[in-house]
Structures are given as C-alpha cells and as structure tokens.
Chains A and B, each alone.
Chain A
C-alpha cells in the first residue's frame, strides 16, 4: 500500500472520528452534572440539523446555525423542565428510561414535521466535490470545519467549566449535589443548564456535520450510538478525551475497511466498546476512583 493511500485512509478515519467526537461531547456535559446518559442526545443533533436546514431557506448559513442552536437549546430546557425537573428523587435508571422515551417521541415528531426525506446545509466552503489535495491525498474542507469547530468547542467548554462561576457551580453539583445546595447553588437550575448546553452543542454538531452525513428524522440514533461508544471509550465526562477517542475509533474503523469488508466496520466499534467495558470500564483516560464516586 502506498503512502498516499495510507494517508487517505487516515483522512477518512479523521472524518469519522470528528463526527463521533462532536456527538460524544454532548453526552459528557449532561453526564457531568447529572450522572445520567441522555439517550436523546442524538435527537438534539438531528433537531439542530433539521432546524438549521429549515431556517437556511430564509437566512444565511451562520444565522441559520445560530437560530438552530438557540431553538434546540430551548427544546433542551423545555424537556428538562417538563420531564426531569419535577421528579423528586429520580433513580438513574428512571432518568435513562425517560430520555429513551423522549428520543422516540422527538423522532416521531420530526417525522410528522419534516417527513422522511434527507436534507443538508450547503458545504461551508466549496461544494460537495471540492477537496483540498496534498499530493494524492484529498480532504473535504468540511472535515476541517468539523475538526476546527470541535476544537474550539472543547477549549470553550474547558474554559467555562474551569474558570467561570457558572461552570464551577455546575461542577460542584456534579461532585456533591447536597454540599453544593448547602452553598446556595440551585442544583435544579444547573441540571437545566446542562441540558441547554448539551442541546446547543448537539445542535451545533448537527449543523456542522450535515453537509457530510445528511440529516433525516432518524439520523440521530446511529450517531448517538457511535457518540456513546466514543464517550465511553474516552472516559465519560471528559471532553478532551472524547476527541482523542473519537479519532482513535474513526481511524481504526477506516483502516479496518482496508483489510476487511466494509460491512464489518460496526463490528470493530462494538467490539471495542465491549472490550473497554470489560477491561477498563472507566475508559481510556477516565479515572476509576472518580467513576466509583458517581451515583452508580
């Protein structure tokens, strides 16, 4: 195999990886504040993409994306207030089941609203056939957009959680809910905020990846599955690790196609997920001690 080809597979892997990572980051935020996996995360991604495409009929791309992010954030807030907030002492299992139910409901609603067709925002730069070439290696500029936006997002999130008062309050709630409440932090508001934040991030992801993957009413499910795998692989709650894990999984999948039939791509992903769950449940970069302190 030539060097060019090697790099071309690597590029493919990076493409897959960034898509997975950007979805995984959304999982991490809600996990960090509530300790639950939000199974409707994929639907946030789908909603973002769908609303973005719909708004794009009237607005230029950046405004359409901003609109989609804000609208999906509102949906996130609404969901938390209607279905999670009023629960008195919800068990983790109950919360998870609620999010699964919500994901089905959102999907059905999207089907009623938008029908079953595929949609996409236009490529941010160039068109569907544009690619940047180094020698015989080609990469779509949209992949660079996804990478760049994921990177900016992670940096911004890290800053938010480490440096701002609000971010610290959210972290405090995640560490010890009761102690945080004693300090006057409204844990309920923090949970709402985490839903808003991860809905917004999901929506942004949905808009940015839509030129590559397209978006349709049920595209959230398979994205969520991969995003979830990556979140687990990196270690739940760690956004930087999610990017590394995403790239790792993406590259593995892409090189697997070189040696194996493409249909086995998912087998690789699921095998890795199982292996990690058996051998290192806290993820590659997770802290086993910290994970044990969580609710379950």
Chain B
C-alpha cells in the first residue's frame, strides 16, 4: 500500500540520518537509546542531538582512546517495550561497547537486567534512584537523584514555613519515582501531604485536579512530571486562583515549558542543574567553563536552548571517554572498573565521584534552586523572592 510505503520510507530515512557515521581507523561502537519521540521527547530529542554533535566533535579529535566512535542511535518513542528490544539488539546483534540512555527511568529499569546480563556498560540519562540502588555492576547513571531533588525542595519549604502541601505527579516512571521519594521524605521534614494526585501523561487540562488542591487548602504544591502537563498544571492553578507557591521537579529544566506557560511560570521554584543558569554563575564556579562550552556549541549548532537533558548525554560520553582513557584500552571489565573509580569529573550536571557502592556519583550540590523570572531561569534567592 502507498501509505505504508511512505511511512516505511520516512522511518528508514530518519534512521539513516541518525545512524550516519564516518569510519576511519579502529572503531568503537556505542549504542544510544533515547526517547526522541513520544511523551518524553523533550528529554530524548536534546540528548540525541547532543550525542550526535559530540560524537562528531570527538571523532575529529581522534575519537575515544584512539578509536573512532560509531554511534548506533535508537529512538524508543518513550516506550519501555521498545527500549527492551533495542537494548537486546544493541548488545546481541550490534555488539556495542557501551549503551548511553535510555532517557526515562521507566525504560532504564526495564533494561537494567539486560545490560547487566550482557555485561555491557549502561550509562542511563534518567534520574530514578532504583537505577543504581541496588547497584548493578555495569549500570551507571548520570542524572542527579530524585531524593536529592526532593530534599532540596523540602529544605526550601522549611525556610518558607510551609507545612501542608499538595503533590501532583504524572503516571510515568519519572512521576512515580518522584512521588515515592516525596512521600518517603516528607515526614522527616515535618511536612504533611494533604492532597496527592496522579494524572495521565497526555493530560491536556488539569483544572479539576488543581481545584482539588485548592479545596484541600494547601500552602504549596509540588508537581513531578516531564510532560507538557507540567506547563498546563501551573497555568490551570493560576486560572482557578490557586496562588500558593508552586514547586516543580528537575523535570522542569527545559525553558520551552516555562515559555509555554508564559506568565503562569513566573515564580515557579525548582531544583535543577546549573546548566540552565550557566551565564549568571560566578566566575570561579568549577562547572562554569564546561557548562558554557557545551551550551554555546549546542545552541550554535541547533538554534535552540540547551537543556539539562542534553547535558546528561554530554556527561555520559565524557565519563565513558575518561574511563576508556584511564583503563588504557577497550577492555570491557577494565573500563567498567575505571568508570567505577572516577573521581572529580566535572560534568554539566555536577561533579561526579563514583565508587563501587555509588554508581550515581552526584551529590546534593548538583542541584541549585532556581526560579523563572521574566521568562528566564535564574538562581532562586529568598531575598529576591520577597521583593
């Protein structure tokens, strides 16, 4: 049929474009599984573009450990089922050296066991703690912990004297993992969750949900999601006259959502990587040079704002490169051990210090509380907020 032929051609050409590489000299195959399409496309899109850009740059400079990188990029469409089959394909058929991704926690948790069994290094770009706890020897993650984000939010709430909150989350792996952390940590900070709602990830209007929060007389609410719903929810909250402080997760770290919500986004408080506020960091900041270099080259090439998610792909490739260097070759086990012992590697998400017990490597300081001011992300300060 004509239609299926067209669809097939489209898919084929998009795959061709994605997988294009130039092979000279010895090569190393690196797989990547990203949610380039689907509800988590705003994670996977920048991640895929970042990796394509950095692999090209790295290959011009001789690749990693003297090997040209051959990138095998797969679009999981945010579907854990597809992530599973791609992971198997990459490990068994393509025999890749390592896999970067997936973009979401749900997908990563589904392929954690596959990577471990296949003895293939997996550098996940997703945040859920369960990815590295319990530790699987071949599985690492480069995105900061949900619990750190939740802790930073609660610390901020304590400062503001907030004790009764509402919690909203989307029914995705990211939303669920965040919800668990918030529920677990809240009592320790003396914070009570009086309304707790989960919404579907394709939600187009959440007026009824925020009405429920309003009825519960919350002093603030946290929304934990990565979908467009996180922009919709703040709009709806302001529309129904819910004027309490709004906290978002680190999933809010993509300026397009702040732009989409327009004036409703002003004053939203969220923990995120310093990448978003790279320009306004003090000159002595350890991360600033790395952040600016990535941000500028990404923005020059793709004419869109760099996001923390693209930064995760950057960090994953950086860490892999360092580990190969340290191991002195492409020995699977040696590189894994080298990765595990990397210390003080400055990435976009923070400073990575891995150990045999910690495959996440980032500390609480990876997050900086930020807010939206005049349509831009800025570092949050209590003094400025009071004015």
- Spell out A's residues near B (CB within 8 Å): 1, 5, 8-9, 11-13, 15-16, 19, 82-83, 98, 101-102, 104-105, 108-109, 111-112, 115-120, 122, 127-131, 133, 136, 138-140, 209, 212-214, 216-219, 222-223, 253-255, 257-258, 261-263, 265-266
Q: Is the CB of A108 within 8 A of B240?
A: no
**Most chain-B CB neighbours within 10 Å: which of A11, A13, A117?**
A117
Indicate which residue in B36, B38, B208, B260 contacts A118 across the interface (CB closer than 8 Å): B260
7 A-B pairs with the lowest CB-CB distances in the bound complex, closest first? A101-B3, A116-B41, A12-B207, A213-B204, A12-B208, A129-B238, A257-B208
Residues of A within 8 A of B288 (CB): none
The verdict on A214 contacting B260 (CB below 8 Å), with A16-B205, A111-B37, A257-B208 known, is yes
Q: How far is the CA of A222 from the CA of B214 in the complex (A)?
A: 27
Q: How far is the CA of A15 from the CA of B51 in the complex (A)?
A: 41
B209 to chain A: closest residue by CB: A262
Q: Is the CB of A131 within 8 A of B211?
A: no
- Spell out B's residues near A (CB within 8 Å): 1-4, 6-7, 10-11, 14, 36-38, 41-42, 44-45, 171, 197-200, 202, 204-209, 211-212, 214-215, 228, 231-232, 235, 238-241, 256-257, 260-264, 304
Q: Is the CB of A127 within 8 A of B45?
A: no
Q: Is the CB of A120 within 8 A of B212?
A: no
Q: Is the CB of A138 within 8 A of B200?
A: no
Indicate which residue in A118, A128, A212, A263 contacts B198 across the interface (CB closer than 8 Å): A263
The verdict on A98 contacting B231 (CB below 8 Å), with A12-B205, A138-B240, A140-B239 known, is no
Residues of B within 8 A of A119 (CB): 260
Residues of A within 8 A of B257 (CB): 118
- Beyond the given pairs A15-B205, A258-B208, 16 more chain A to chain B contacts, judged by CB atoms under 8 angstroms and listed by A's residue number, are A16-B205, A83-B2, A98-B3, A101-B7, A102-B3, A104-B7, A108-B10, A116-B45, A129-B235, A129-B263, A222-B202, A223-B204, A261-B197, A262-B209, A263-B199, A265-B200
The verdict on A118 contacting B264 (CB below 8 Å), with A111-B37, A112-B14 known, is no
Residues of B within 8 A of A116 (CB): 36-37, 41-42, 44-45
Indicate which residue in B198, B206, B211, B264 contacts A9 across the interface (CB closer than 8 Å): B211
Pull 11 A–B residue pairs with CB atoms less than 8 Å apart, ordered by A.
A5-B215, A8-B207, A12-B207, A109-B10, A128-B235, A128-B262, A139-B239, A213-B205, A218-B37, A257-B211, A262-B199
